[in-house]
Amino acid sequence: MVVDEQGSFVTQRELPRMALVKPTIRLSDIVLRAPGMLALHLQIDTVEEPVRVKLWDEEVAAYDMGDTAAQWFTDFLGRKLRLVRFDPEQRRLSSLKWTGGVEAANQFSDGYPVFVTSTASLDLLNEKLVAAGRSPVEMERFRPNIVLSGVEAHDEDRLDVMTIATEGGEVRLKPVKPCARCPIPNVDPATAEVDPIVTDTLQGYRRNELLGGAISFGMNLIVAQGEDLTLKVGQDVAADWNF
């Protein structure tokens, strides 16, 4: 997570150029690349000093990733910034209100550990964009962890516990809250240009009463079983309906 001088998190909401930072996770390190910058190599098992950082209305424990990483982000984004990683000893839970009292571990993501949407949902949005004379958008704008195929548009809103068979055992993921969309989907991940057409279009058909009229796209999930297992593209997903 990138933080400012006060230790508060920053995102593409205020710094769209963050979309141009491309990470590659390798066996022992993470490589960050961005236009006009030398690649930044960060060892996965190496941190600097412990720090406290702010994420929404929470203060959590983290580790600073050092002056080189801080200077890299400062130079590229034009603000004095630092890079931190989550402290594995920190206990941060998703909203108990939405999880039904289930204690679901979360790290630096906004509120929930897993997010799912579907190709059909994106296809419907793109149909509306094209009908309005605009270009279609890619799924990367919504940053999902899981993308379903073989379902109707926004069927992910109506699914109960999702079961996925993996080589190591069964994974069970429970949808708990529709994902309210902030302006980040308006950021083109290829150029960092901002155009409100995505959220403006969603305003026309995706207002969610559960979220007080906010627009939604996709569902937030918690892990009910299989926390240490690995999901892969192409695995089958089974779920009952939850109307």
Residues 83 and 143 in one domain: no
What's 236's domain CATH number?
2.40.33
Residues 50 and 86 in one domain: yes
Residues 104 and 132 in one domain: yes
More reliable by pLDDT, 134 or 47? 134
Residues 33 and 153 in one domain: no
Boundary residue ending a domain (55, 70, 90): 90
Residues 15 and 79 in one domain: yes
More reliable by pLDDT, 243 or 195? 195
Whether residue 243 is predicted with pLDDT greater than 90 in this model: the reply is no
Tally the domains of the chain. Answer: 2
What strands, in cross-sheet order, belong to the sheet with 40-43? 22-25, 29-33, 40-43
According to DSSP, residue 177 is labeled E
Whether residue 132 is predicted with pLDDT greater than 90 in this model: the reply is yes
In sign, the C-alpha dihedral spanning 197, 32, 14, 56 is: positive
Whether residue 226 is predicted with pLDDT greater than 90 in this model: the reply is yes
Q: What is the pLDDT of residue 207?
A: 97
Boundary residue ending a domain (40, 63, 90): 90
CA contacts within 13 A on the Cβ side of 94: 25
Residues 192, 19 contacting (CB under 8 angstroms): yes
Residues 14 and 112 in one domain: no
Residues 162 and 203 in one domain: yes
pTM of the model as a whole: 0.92
Nearest-angstrom CA–CA distance, 142 and 68: 30
Nearest-angstrom CA–CA distance, 8 and 4: 6
Nearest-angstrom CA–CA distance, 180 and 185: 11
Structure tokens at 241: 């309906």
Nearest-angstrom CA–CA distance, 169 and 114: 18
Whether residue 203 is predicted with pLDDT greater than 80 in this model: the reply is yes
Percent above pLDDT 90 for the chain:
97
Residues 192 and 152 in one domain: yes
Nearest-angstrom CA–CA distance, 235 and 172: 13
Residues 18 and 107 in one domain: no
The boundaries of the domain holding residue 226 are 96-241
Nearest-angstrom CA–CA distance, 219 and 112: 10
Residues 181 and 76 in one domain: no
Boundary residue ending a domain (72, 90, 108): 90
Residues 85 and 148 in one domain: no
Phi, psi of 69 (to 5 degrees): -65, -40
Residues 72 and 129 in one domain: no
Using one digit for the tens of pLDDT, what is the confidence trace for 146-186? 999 999 999 999 999 999 999 999 999 999 999 999 999 99
